Structures are given as structure tokens and as C-alpha cells.
Structure 1
Amino acid sequence: MAVLGLLITGYLAWTAGSGSASAFCTGDGSCDAIQRSGWSTLLGLPMALWGFGLYAVVALVSLSRKASLLLRWQRQWRLVLLGLAISLYLTAVGKLVLDAFCIGCLASLAVLIAMFACLQVRRPAAAPGQPWGRWWGMQAVPVLLVVALLHVHQSGLLHQRPESRRAAALAQHLTDYGAKFYGASWCVECSRQKRHFGHAADRLPYVECSPGGRNTPMVSACAAAGVTVFPTWVIDGIEHNGVMEPQQLAVLTRFDWDKAAAAD
């Protein structure tokens, strides 16, 4: 089963690194939404590559005969539990945040579930005599801590910029200038754009294009503007796609960025 996981994650890592379309993808754009999201990478590496590493370690532990049967099982159990928890977390993010699923990711999740079920059934007779529930608790706490740290990192909670008078002044200037920032509630890049302004993001001329979710029709204002990707800035009638630095927006709207720095 670890070898099967290696094949799945290896293929996903290759497609992510090469930019190729995955054979697992369907035509609904779910794969693209996930691959372009901030959750698709960790520390600059594709998340699939981290999964490949986990399966490789499980395979090595499974092939090792130096450790006792009990010790080998314990190591397998901890590794698979960690992988399963992270996979479930990412699947939940895909559904709740991106409203999208990756078939290859679901295939990897199925492999992890099968591995975990197998380990549960094949628990050695020499396993610790303490209550099974206590064993579960002792192993689950560090796994939940890892998932919590992953969430804090991936959701950008550590990257929120502090209050800045310059950012607030620019955000208000963009509104007064008539610029428009078109985004969607499920768009990770839109969240990144807002984080550039910290707490001043509420003052941005933001237009929510998809309040109902990723697969719902765009609101009329966005459809009339011809918005096809998120985020999209419209300044002086010209579209600018993707996340833009505040300095870029300042130049495009003739905002004195250096003078505003004195306010901070």
C-alpha cells in the first residue's frame, strides 16, 4: 500500500513541478483551483512531494527487520496517523475553502485509510497493556498539534501585516481613485492580496464576485466587467490579474508611496 501511495503522490508531485495537467483532473476546474491555492505547497515544495516522503518513510519502516514487530508497528501507526490527519485536513480545506476536490488527493486519502485500517486490525498481541483509549490519546495530541501548526502556517495567520497608516491611506486612495478589486470568497490569492494591507484591507474597493461558492454564477457587476480570473484589479479601465504589491498599486494610481511612509 505504501508503494501505491508512492506512485500516486509521485505522479502528483511530477505534474505540480512540471505544470502538466493531471490525468486525474476533470473538466470542472477543481484541480486548477487546488494547484493554484496556497495549500498546494509547503515551504516552497509541492504538498504531494511531502506525501511522497511520508510514504517512503513508511515503506522503509515496513521493510526494516532490525526493529521488533511491536516497534515496527508502532512506527507505522504513528506515521500513517499523521499522514491521515493531514490528508483529512487538506480535503476539508478543499471542500470548505476552495469548494474543490483533487481526485489524486482523494486516491491518496483512500490509501491512507486502508493502511490505517490494516494497522488497526493487525495490532500485535504484544502491544502495550494500557487502555487502548489512552494510547490513542497519547498519539493523537502531537498529531493534532502538527495539523494546528500547519493550519496556522498555510492560512497565513502568521503573515498578517500589522496596522499601517500608509497601507490604510493607500487603500482609501484606491477607493477614491475609482479602482476596483474583484475577488471571490474561496480565492486564496485574493486572501493573499488582502494580507498585503493588513487590517486596512477592509478599506479596499473590493467586489465579491462569488458569494455563493466556486461553482455558483458570478454577480452581475463582475460579469459585466468581464472578470474571468481572481484577483483582478481594474484601474483606469485596464485589467491587472494576480496579486499586486502595494507599491505597484501606488504607481498605477499616482499615490505618493514614499511620502506616505512618513505617516508610519
Structure 2
Amino acid sequence: MGSSRLKSRRRQDLGSKWARVAIAIFSTVGVIDTGSITLNKWGLIGTLNCPGGLGGCDKVLNSPWGTLIQSNNYSIPLSLMGFISYFLILLMAALPLLPILNNQKNNISKVAWWGSFYISTSTFIFSLILISIMIFKINAFCFFCLLSCLISLLLLILNVFGGGWEDYGKLFFRGFVVSVAVLLSGLIWSSSVDPSTKQVSNNIQGIPPAVVTISSPEKINLAEHLTKEGAVMYNAYWCPHCHDQKEMFGKEAAKKLNLVECAKDGFNNKRELCEAKGITGFPSWEINGSIDSGVKSLKELAELSNYKNTKDF
């Protein structure tokens, strides 16, 4: 009887081996998913093949919520946080399965299950916040974001039902505390980067609203090429289409464009030049001596200016 009880307790501590294997598989998919996004944001790989349309993925991943830290020298995409989370879950699932750690298997297994539970709970709650932002704020569809949310949910379910927990009351209480902490932190962060909360500071007479999307290296290269070739974008600070055009480039690339303010009450305006050029619509692009009005796609601008580099915008 004593031996049977001890065997049951050991099995309970170790949890389900098959659940660990499943967690390792799903977390590997998560590592690939978030790792691909991170490498793409850093310009180390080309365009991602996004089911449901690349435009939606590009809009979501280049939104203000797609970057955790941004400076002139480097950027840390939010996907890197997801990559680290999935990698740690993969590590915790794999460690107890290593034969070399058999002597400490029980202790390592218990710590690994708790660690995996905390991280998968945090990842799932944060994914829900991001999905809400994607739907209600960005108004776009991103397959990679939905995949990450689904993976985090599956990992949480596998942790709850495969961990061999002795006290589910303790498990759910800790899960609730972690969920509330992540939810509050996530909402504070999302509000701090929400461009709509900064709209008042940008609503100054004569000053265009700030560009908030993040530029990829390809977009910066195109902006530098356009300026080098003498391309000019004529715009007005109050023009929403002009703002949309600059948002396509992102804030880093937009700073490198040759922009001419045409509004009479615009800051540093060159009204006389605009009139001399016959500018009547905004935005208007002057490329290779030809002036054409209307918002242009980045690929169209690349073709008009004979841009030879990669066009993975």
C-alpha cells in the first residue's frame, strides 16, 4: 500500500509525459512563428507569406503596438517577447525528459511545470489583449497573431490538465493572480503607445499629425533613394491622404523624405513653389520631372523612381 501511494505521488509530481511532448511541439511552433516575425522586423529575412493577405499582417506588425522599444539605433519588436516566452516553455518541457537529469527528475519536473504554467498563462492573457487591439484599434487581420494566441491557449490547457497537480485550488488561485497582473500591465502598456491618446498634442495649427507606424529597413532604403533621386512629395498638414502616404513609409522613413508643405498657414510652408509647380491635389509626387497627384503604393513609387533594391515593403 505504501509503495503504491509513493508511486502515485511520483507520477503526480512528474505529470504526463505525453503532455510534455505536446507542449514541446506546440512551443516549437510558437518559437518559429514569433522568431520569423522578429527576424522580418529586423530585416534579416524577406516578406512573410501571411495567409489572409499580407496587408493586414504588415499593418498590425508595423503598428505602434508591434514594437516594444524603438530608438534611432535599434528596435525591439514585441514578437521578441513572445519568442523568449515560447523558448522558455520549450526548455521547461524538454529538461525533465533528458536522461542526464534523472537523479533530480522529480524536483526539476515540479519547478518546470510551475514555470511553464506561469509563462503560458501570461502569454495567453497578453495575446488576448493583442487580439483585442488588432480587432478594435488596428482593424486588420494578422494570421501570425491569431496563431500565437491559439498556441498559447493550447499550452495553457496542456499545463492545466497534464501537470499532475495535487491542489487545483492553489493552481487556479495563482493563475488568477498572474492573469490580473498581466492584464493590468498589458492595458497600461497598450494605452501608453496608443496614438489616439497623443492626438491632442499633435493637433497644433500648421503642424501635421505625427506618423506612428514603424519603418522597416526596406522602407527606409526606399525613402533615402527617393530623396537622392530628387523626388518631392507636396502635401498639406491638414490632408488625411498625405498622412496616410507617410504612414505607409513609417516614422523613420518619412523623416528622410523630401516633403514640401503647401498649405498657406502650414509651418515652414513653400506656398509659392507649390503654386509655381501647379499643385492642386494632395499628396502630389514629383519624380523625374513628372508630377502626379494621389496616394501611391510603395512598389509604385519604387518603379517610378527606378529603385533597384529588394521591394519587400
Which TM bucket (shorter chain)? Answer: 0.5 to 0.7
Distance 1:133 1:119, change over 3 A: closer
Identify the residue that residue 140 of structure 2 maps to in structure 1. 100
Equivalent in the alignment of 1:229: 245
Change (3 A) 1:95 1:135: same
2:109 to 45, 69, 75: 69
- The offset of 1:4, in angstroms, is 1.3
Matching residue of 1:142: 181
Taking structure 2 as the reference length, the TM-score comes to: 0.52
Which structure 2 residues correspond to residues 33-44 of structure 1 after superposition, within 5 A? Answer: 33-43=59-69, 44=75
Cα 1:130/1:25, change in 2 over 3 Å: closer
Are 2:123 and 1:83 aligned?
A: yes
Structure 1 portions without partners, runs of 5+: 190-203, 210-221, 239-248, 255-264
Q: For residues 53-98 of structure 1, give each alpha carbon's deviation from its aligned partner in whole angstroms, at most 9, with x where no partner exists.
A: 1111111222233534333211111101111111111111111111
Number of equivalent positions: 198
The structure-2 alpha-carbon separation of the partners of 1:3 and 1:133, relative to structure 1 and needing over 3 Å to count, comes to closer
- Aligned-residue sequence identity (percent) comes to 18
What does residue 233 of structure 2 align with? Answer: none
CA contact 1:70–1:124 (8 Å) conserved in 2: no
How far apart in 2 are the matches of 1:182 and 1:152?
18
Q: Show the counterpart of 2:19.
A: none
1:22 to 18, 42, 48: 48
| Residue ranges of structure 2 left out of the alignment (5+ in a row) | 1-25, 70-74, 97-103, 214-235, 249-258, 272-313
CA-CA distance at 1:17 after TM superposition:
1.6
Q: What is residue 290 of structure 2 aligned with on the other side?
A: none
What corresponds to 2:84 in structure 1? 53
Match runs of 1:144-163 below 5 Å: 144-155=183-194, 160=198
Contact 2:212 2:247 in 1 (8 A): no
* Residue 152 of structure 1: how far off its partner (Å): 3.5
Relative to the length of structure 1, the TM-score reads: 0.61
Q: 2:269 aligns with which of 248, 252, 258?
A: 252
Give the equivalent residue in structure 1 for 2:34: 9
Change (3 A) 1:161 1:101: closer
**Aligned equivalents of 1:154, 1:34: Cα separation in 2:** 14
Contact 2:261–2:270 (8 Å) recurs in 1: yes
Check conservation: 2:117, 2:159, Cα contact below 8 A.
yes
User: Is the CA contact 1:38–1:154 (under 8 Å) kept in the aligned structure 2?
Assistant: yes
Q: CA deviation at 1:6?
A: 0.8
Structure 2 counterpart of 1:116, from 141, 156, 159: 156
Q: Residue 112 of structure 1: SS of its match in structure 2?
A: helix
CA distance in structure 1 between the aligned counterparts of 2:135 and 2:123, rounded to whole angstroms = 18
Aligned residue type for 1:7: I
| Greater Rg by CA | 2
Q: What is the distance in 2 between the residues matched to 1:91 and 1:103?
A: 11
The equivalent residue for 2:298 is none
Alpha-carbon RMSD: 3.8
What amino acid sits opposite 1:153 in the alignment? S
Query: 1: CA distance between counterparts of 2:209 and 2:184?
Result: 35
Once residues 182 and 150 of structure 1 are traced to their aligned partners in structure 2, the CA distance between those partners, rounded to angstroms, is 22
